[in-house]
Amino acid sequence: MNLSRRDLNSNVVNIELTLASIIQGVALYFLTENARTALSLNNWPALLYLSAGLCIIFIFWSRSIIHTLTLIKWPLEFGHNFFYIACALGEAILFTRLDRPLAWFRWSTAYAAFVWLLFVYDVRLIRARLREATNEPDRSLYQHTMEDQSLNIRVLVPLLFFFNLGCALAISHWPDFFIHRAGHVWLIAAQLLSFLVYLFYVTRFYNGIAPLILRSHEGARQ
């Protein structure tokens, strides 16, 4: 790889890492501000919503970092970054609903749908990297990434979408139980558990491809 191309790749990676960190920092600000209000009301279930919101930030940030380390090269992909910014807006709006269970799950459904679109959009980027791959480490890395992308598109994100949709419909149809008798606590607890399980999956996925990332970058320097 020539020096100018390598420098451009490095600049694009730095832009991606900076953007991912900034937008999640903004999302964390909205979560913190709304958590202060919710917790000041001695509303202990808000702790579950706060924890779920924090998990959303962890998930988005970790996935964006993995994406940057595996796929991002010159030229800069504007559409992908626009999706990132729009997702951060969705998180900020979602975090204003910490004390409103029905609104929380409605926005969680919309957010999951948008993340689903982001995964679908990024398939074209993975396919482009597969076409460009000239050595076995690159091909192996991009193939593992494509398998993870397909799993998220076909199984994991749809499950999250339909779970949130089901929760929103349940609260809307039976408000007496889920709102007045605090049945929503079971729903947010289940959502939080699903986020923790997904975080565990993301961590395992990263640990599995970390050696491939190293081999791919070593090959690019040669």
pLDDT digits (tens, 9 = 90+) for 85-113: 999 999 999 999 998 999 999 999 999 99
Asked if 53 and 94 count as a contact pair (C-beta separation under 8 A), the reply is yes
CA gap 203, 125 in Å, rounded: 22
CA gap 58, 199 in Å, rounded: 8
Judged against a pLDDT cut of 90, whether residue 158 lies above it is answered with: yes
pLDDT in tens, 166-198: 999 999 999 999 998 889 999 999 999 999 999
CA 54, 55, 58, 60 torsion-angle sign: negative
Asked if 45 and 184 count as a contact pair (C-beta separation under 8 A), the reply is yes
Polymer length of the chain: 222
Mean pLDDT of the region 198-215: 94
pLDDT in tens, 29-52: 999 998 887 776 677 888 999 999
